Amino acid sequence: MGKAFKFIRRLFGLFALLALIFGGLKRVFEWLDQNGEDGNEVFTDEEEVLL
């Protein structure tokens, strides 16, 4: 039973680590989006209104 408990603890630790990484990436992308660097956008705001 000890091995199963250890495996479950490691699995939860892995999920926590992945959640931390993805949360950090999400925060970085939100920060970059907030900076107003729109060089990667396909449409300008005026073109979006016409669509």
Most distant CA atoms of the chain, gap in Å: 64
* Predicted model pTM: 0.55
- Domain span at residue 11 reads 1-34
Does residue 51 lie within any of the structural domains? no
Residue 51 pLDDT more than 60?
Answer: no
> Does an H or E element contain 11, and which?
helix 2-34
Residue 16 pLDDT more than 80?
Answer: yes
Look at the chain and report how many structural domains it folds into: 1
Does residue 50 lie within any of the structural domains? no
Does residue 48 lie within any of the structural domains? no
d(Cα 22, Cα 39) in Å, to the nearest integer? 24
Long-range (24+ apart) CB contacts under 8 A made by 39-44 are none
What percentage of the chain carries pLDDT values higher than 70? 67
Average pLDDT over residues 34-50: 60
Kindly report the backbone phi and psi dihedral angles of residue 38, in degrees, each rounded to the nearest multiple of 5, phi listed first: -100, 25
At 25, is the pLDDT very low, low, confident or very high (cuts 50, 70, 90)? very high
User: What is the predicted pLDDT for the residue at 1?
Assistant: 73
- Length of the chain in terms of residues written: 51
